[in-house]
């Protein structure tokens, strides 16, 4: 029995900022003070506030310490755990009230507007201890399904909840299950797969669920196995997620020991087991048909649909493939009922969605919001706004498949249909915030470079089309574009969307098309004025010194790596444009604001 629990975040974010060392130091210090039998150290998954990691939460007080270092640990042990005095200087600053008191973490702006369903256990339980998962009603839904419900009833509940695929496309999950159950009924094997090949730049929702609550995925897949009549599941997870892979392995082992995976689960006669398959880092393997081809041991390339996986998927057998976050919703839908789930969200998008906030935002991290929350609330209230007083320019959702949402749509409620209507998409949940210093042409180029690299090469529109689009964008950012190039980009983009083989190619032009739609003037500035309004594209930049402001201190000349600044002491200096590398070192060093770029 312990009187206090010290929760140390062991997600990838906090682990990379040193939470392992913090755990060790807590262990040593507790031992030294003779508190080892009174205070438990619990390694948890992600709390979401990755920007302020490593995070340590002490219960029963619920004190939320942020940016903790190993050097802070002796003080927390001596003051908080031994004497009950909260170490104020380490408390998450949003919790501090003006009157000096500390408010609950749940009342902070970051936490208040969130609603954690898929992430409910992340940061609360120890993911490597199956008992803690069971303690939060884990595997209760599986027990209920296997002992009280028919497969048809399970599918009806998922259908009625309105849950749609969280991988991005938003296909109704219950419908997918229904097809896999009904279309082929020949008594042969069927499969349940989990897509944990999260590859969008800036997305880490699925990783956090796997690291913080791996059992929820196992439980949900087993439920689906029962619903469609499958006895084998596969989790396809990227090898680049070592912590997630390790914890999934531990979870599968524990579930087998408890008989929650294996033969005759809950004495119901139903058998189900799950195996891990590691992805080798190809983005296209997150596409469902490529993923299944890869599990089969072949080169990960997509294949045409139809036939859909519900008819002929893995090993040409009926298969359902759902994304990690989709799975994470299932047990709670079973336990709390479809009405509960459908009461959250908008008319056609029920429940919540997890977003990974990144880019120009104060609270970089993971948030879960009810569908229908506006982008403004996510960025300004939960995300803490754009840093350094800069202005919000756009948010990129859906990664390389999505688009940019400009400030004019800041108040659009986020759901599947609204995002599609404004030229973006839900995607798996990466949300990258951009401010006035981001060049939209450069952003489009960045994402297209990614798809060019990751195109598997099987179909021509994607293999060659995206390459040509990239070349045009590259020309534009170098000031060599023409206005016809803009029309060509649009034409080519539409052609690729219509003709590519798989989802990767069909969505690859989105970042270009959506920026062309909302920020055409920036493209035109690059082409006609040969200027980059945000000051990003180097070829279009020039630095100049204002002679009226220059004091002739020589600091810029001394810091210029190219030696292209000349001038006498106490006289205005001049930049030789032909030698300038446009590194900006002069501007960073000038104390008089005499250097400008444009």
Partner 1 sequence: MKSLEELKAIRERMQGQLGMREEGEDQTRVVVGMATCGIAAGARPVLNKFAELVQERGIKNTIVTQTGCIGICRFEPIVEIYEPGKPKVTYVHMDAEKAEEVVTRHLQGGQVVKEYVIPATISVPSK
The footprint of partner 1 (CB under 8 A) covers 1-5, 7, 38, 59-62, 82-85, 104-106, 124-125, 131-132, 134-140, 143, 147, 258-260, 264, 266-267
In the complex, the smallest distance separating the C-beta of residue 265 from partner 1, rounded to whole angstroms, is: 9
Residue 19 CB-half CA count within 13 A? 27
The secondary structure element, H or E, covering residue 20 is: helix 19-32
In the complex, the smallest distance separating the C-beta of residue 125 from partner 1, rounded to whole angstroms, is: 7
Q: Cβ of 79: how many Cβ atoms within 10 Å? A: 14
Nearer to partner 1, 91 or 278 (CB): 91
CA distances from 55 to 14, 35, 321, 383 (A): 7, 21, 34, 17
Q: What is the DSSP string of 410-425?
A: TTSB-SHHHHHHTT--
Give the CA-trace dihedral at 110, 206, 416, 313, to 10 degrees. Answer: -170
C-alpha span between 123 and 118 (Å, rounded): 12
Nearer to partner 1, 140 or 156 (CB): 140
3-state secondary structure of 11: coil
Nearer to partner 1, 186 or 267 (CB): 267
In the complex, the smallest distance separating the C-beta of residue 29 from partner 1, rounded to whole angstroms, is: 16
Nearer to partner 1, 137 or 463 (CB): 137
In the complex, the smallest distance separating the C-beta of residue 59 from partner 1, rounded to whole angstroms, is: 5
In the complex, the smallest distance separating the C-beta of residue 232 from partner 1, rounded to whole angstroms, is: 21
Give the dihedral sign, CA 498/502/508/514: positive
Nearer to partner 1, 271 or 546 (CB): 271
User: For the sheet containing 4-9, what is the strand order?
Assistant: 39-44, 4-9, 56-59, 63-65
Query: Tokens 């800036």 label which residue?
Result: 202
In the complex, the smallest distance separating the C-beta of residue 494 from partner 1, rounded to whole angstroms, is: 52
In the complex, the smallest distance separating the C-beta of residue 298 from partner 1, rounded to whole angstroms, is: 38
Query: Tokens 């609270």 label which residue?
Result: 363
Nearer to partner 1, 62 or 457 (CB): 62
In the complex, the smallest distance separating the C-beta of residue 343 from partner 1, rounded to whole angstroms, is: 21
> Which residues, 6+ apart, have CB-to-CB distance to 13 below 8 Å?
46, 50, 53, 204, 365
> Which residues, 6+ apart, have CB-to-CB distance to 281 below 8 Å?
238, 239, 240
> Which residues, 6+ apart, have CB-to-CB distance to 482 below 8 Å?
527
In the complex, the smallest distance separating the C-beta of residue 131 from partner 1, rounded to whole angstroms, is: 5
Token pair of 237 as six digits: 């997870």
In the complex, the smallest distance separating the C-beta of residue 541 from partner 1, rounded to whole angstroms, is: 51
Residue 263 preceded by cis peptide, ω within 30: no
Nearer to partner 1, 259 or 457 (CB): 259
Token pair of 358 as six digits: 């990144």
The secondary structure element, H or E, covering residue 273 is: strand 270-279
C-alpha span between 583 and 431 (Å, rounded): 29
Nearer to partner 1, 124 or 426 (CB): 124
Nearer to partner 1, 260 or 508 (CB): 260
Of 433, 365, 399, which Cα lies nearest the Cα of 55? 365
């Amino acid at each position: 029995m312990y009187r206090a629990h010290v929760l140390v975040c062991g997600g990838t974010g906090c682990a990379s900022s040193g939470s392992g060392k913090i755990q060790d130091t807590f262990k040593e210090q507790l031992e030294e003070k003779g508190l080892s039998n009174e205070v438990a150290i619990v390694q948890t998954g992600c709390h979401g506030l990755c920007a302020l990691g490593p995070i340590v939460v002490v219960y029963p007080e619920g004190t939320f310490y942020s940016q903790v270092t190993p050097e802070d640990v002796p003080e927390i042990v001596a003051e908080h755990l031994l004497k009950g005095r909260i170490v104020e200087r380490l408390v998450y600053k949003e919790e501090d009230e003006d009157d000096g008191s500390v408010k609950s973490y749940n009342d902070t702006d970051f936490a208040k507007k969130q609603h954690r369903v898929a992430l409910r256990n992340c940061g609360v339980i120890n993911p490597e201890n199956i008992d803690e998962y069971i303690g939060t009603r884990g595997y209760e839904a599986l027990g209920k399904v296997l002992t009280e419900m028919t497969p048809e009833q399970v599918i009806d509940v998922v259908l009625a909840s309105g849950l749609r695929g969280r991988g991005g496309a938003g296909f109704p999950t219950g419908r997918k299950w229904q097809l896999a159950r009904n279309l082929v009924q020949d008594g042969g094997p069927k499969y349940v797969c989990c897509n944990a090949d999260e590859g969008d730049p800036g997305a880490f929702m699925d990783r956090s669920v796997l690291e913080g609550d791996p059992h929820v995925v196992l439980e949900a897949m087993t439920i689906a196995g029962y619903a469609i009549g499958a006895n084998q599941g596969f989790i396809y997870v990227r090898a680049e997620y070592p912590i997630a892979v390790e914890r999934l392995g531990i979870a599968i082992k524990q579930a087998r020991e408890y008989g929650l995976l294996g033969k005759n689960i809950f004495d119901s006669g139903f058998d189900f087991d799950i195996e891990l398959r590691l992805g080798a880092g190809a983005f296209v393997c997150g596409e469902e048909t490529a993923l299944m081809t890869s599990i089969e041991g072949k080169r990960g390339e997509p294949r045409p649909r139809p036939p859909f996986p519900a008819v002929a998927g893995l090993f040409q057998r009926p298969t359902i493939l759902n994304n990690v976050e989709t799975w994470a919703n299932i047990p709670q839908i079973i336990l709390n009922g479809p009405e509960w789930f459908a009461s959250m969200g908008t008319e056609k998008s029920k429940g919540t969605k997890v977003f990974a906030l990144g880019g120009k935002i104060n609270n970089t991290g993971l948030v879960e919001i009810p569908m229908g929350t506006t982008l403004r609330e996510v960025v300004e209230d939960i995300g803490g706004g754009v840093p350094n007083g800069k202005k919000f320019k756009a948010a990129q959702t859906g990664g390389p498949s999505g688009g940019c949402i400009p400030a004019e749509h800041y108040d659009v409620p986020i759901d599947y249909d609204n995002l599609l209507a404004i030229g973006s998409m839900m995607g798996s949940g990466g949300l990258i915030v951009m401010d006035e210093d981001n060049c939209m042409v450069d952003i489009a180029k960045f994402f297209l470079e990614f798809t060019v690299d990751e195109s598997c090469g099987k179909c021509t529109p994607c293999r060659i089309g995206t390459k040509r689009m990239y070349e045009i964008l590259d020309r534009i950012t170098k000031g060599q574009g023409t206005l016809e190039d803009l029309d060509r980009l649009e034409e080519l983009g539409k052609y690729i969307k219509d003709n590519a083989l798989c989802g990767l190619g069909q969505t690859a032009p989105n970042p270009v098309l959506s920026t062309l739609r909302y920020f055409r003037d920036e493209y035109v500035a690059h082409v006609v004025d040969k200027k980059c309004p945000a000051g990003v594209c180097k070829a279009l930049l020039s630095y100049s010194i204002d002679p009226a402001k220059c004091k002739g201190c020589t600091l810029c000349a001394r810091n210029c790596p190219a030696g292209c600044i000349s001038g006498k002491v106490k006289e205005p200096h001049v930049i030789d444009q032909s030698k300038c590398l446009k590194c900006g070192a002069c501007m960073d060093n000038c104390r008089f604001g005499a250097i400008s770029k444009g």
